[in-house]
Amino acid sequence: MTVAPSFAAATAAASRLRQLSSSSHLPASEILLPSNNGDRKQPPTTPLLAPKRIMVLRHGQAIHNPRAELARENGCSFEEFLQLMHEDDAFDADLTALGEEQAKQAGLIGHVQDALQKVDMIVSSPLSRAIRTADLFHNTTSNSSPKRVAIEHFREINGKLLNAKRRPRTELETIFPHWNFSHVPSTDATWTEELEPHHECSERGYKGLLWIMQQNETNILLVAHGGLLKMMMNDHPRVVLVDGRNKHPSNDMDRCVSQRFGNCELRSYIISAWKNEAEIADDATAINAESSLHKTQPVITLEEVTINSAVEQS
């Protein structure tokens, strides 16, 4: 069955498009619950590109995470969180032994294994902890291993900390020869001593989502970072989160869809790109070009769905 966004996702997209056309002061990404009978209504807008399924996984615990993440859970400030990461910092931080085990075990869950059989492309941050997590989660020895592509857009908040600094492309190609690094610059020219502004990180993640929407593959696994995912999903005015999870006692319905990802936490989404109906015709002849889609600046909805239900519908 072809993947399709819900009526609630279309409604959320239309609402955000109206906001964008009327005001430059926007709230954080809104969260809507699909109506029980919404699928029988005529949606207020239609997707600009074919929707896709995307599973999003945060990397496993890395050596700079344990103390900082514990402090965050206990309510520390962002400054305290950053200081602890600075004290435990390491260049392109590796996974801990626990982080490797988290990645292995996350990929062994029954319904997750079923979902992984559908994946036709794995996209990762070019930082080693994310790539390593992807390989442990979706084992490279699989007979139907999908192509693996590292994308610069999905690296962690850049600058200041060494764990955010990337290895040169030639070194990454040596360590991970089964990955495609053609979209990664040869050197890490973007890392600086200053922390990347949050709005720039959010925009970078949004551009990564646009890149995914342009690919031919329809079932994607994305492996990235807690900070990047939070800013991309919650803070960008053209990204809207929608809650489409099945309401069942076995599902984690107590977790808000905007909550920060834990280490090796997996969530599944239907991703769609939307634009005002009147403007689609003007761009239709050119949306296949990356520069044109970036110019179009569509609203992206990420509708979180229950993983096992996504598998059943495929």
DSSP 93: P
- pLDDT, average across residues 30-48: 53
Work out the average pLDDT over 283-310: 69
Q: How far apart are CA 232 and CA 226, in angstroms?
A: 10
Band (140; pLDDT cuts 50, 70, 90): low
Count the neighbouring beta carbons within 10 Å of the beta carbon of residue 56.
23
Q: How many CB atoms neighbour CB 79 within 10 A?
A: 8
284 to each of 18, 49, 210, 217, how far by Cα in Å? 20, 10, 15, 20
Q: 89-98, 103-112, 118-127, 142-151: lowest mean pLDDT where? A: 142-151
pLDDT tens string 96-124: 999 999 999 999 888 888 888 889 999 99
Packing angle of the helix pair 78-87, 66-73 (nearest 10 deg): 160
pLDDT score of 52 = 95
**CATH class of the region 7-61+95-313:** alpha beta
CB atoms within 10 A of CB 106: 19
Q: Which of 22-26, 89-93, 120-124, 180-184 has the lowest mean pLDDT?
A: 22-26
pLDDT of 240 over the 80 cut:
yes
For residue 161, pLDDT over 90 is answered with yes
Residue 137 has pLDDT above 50, yes or no: yes
Mean pLDDT of the residues in the chain: 84
Q: What is the pLDDT of residues 207-219, one digit of tens each?
A: 999 999 999 999 9
Is the pLDDT at 280 greater than 60? The verdict is no
Could you tell me the pLDDT band of residue 314, with boundaries at 50, 70 and 90? very low
From CA 305, how far away is CA 86, in angstroms rounded?
36
Per-residue tokens: 280 = 């689609």
Encoded tokens for 250:
């076995």
Q: Given pLDDT bands bounded at 50, 70 and 90, which one contains residue 37?
A: very low
- Asked if the model's pLDDT at residue 71 lies above 50, the reply is yes
Identify which of 201, 200, 197, 66 has the alpha carbon closest to the alpha carbon of residue 125.
Answer: 201
Residue ranges with strand state E in 89-190:
121-124, 147-150
Q: Are strands 219-224 and 121-124 parallel, antiparallel or unpaired?
A: parallel
Q: How far apart are CA 146 and CA 220, in angstroms?
A: 9
Give the CA distances from residue 22 to residues 17, 25, 47, 132, 149, in Å, rounded to whole numbers and listed in that order.
9, 9, 21, 44, 38
What residues are paired with 223 via a beta bridge?
57, 124
**Mean pLDDT across the stretch 184-192?**
96
Residue 31 confidence (pLDDT) above 70: no
pLDDT on residue 211: 96
Q: How many CA atoms lie within 13 A of 102 on its CB side?
A: 20
Q: Identify the pLDDT of residue 292.
A: 56
pLDDT surpasses 60 at 35:
no
Reported as a pLDDT band with limits 50, 70 and 90, residue 286 is: very low
Of 122, 78, 129, residue with least CA distance to 102: 129
What percentage of the chain has pLDDT greater than the value 70?
80
The domain limits of the chain are: 7-61+95-313
Please tell me which residue, 265 or 70, carries the higher pLDDT value. 265
CB burial of residue 143 (10 Å; 0-12, 13-18, 19+): exposed
Distance, CA of 263 to CA of 60 (rounded, Å): 5
pLDDT at 176: 96
Question: pTM (2 decimals)?
Answer: 0.87
Q: Which is more confidently placed, 265 or 144?
A: 265
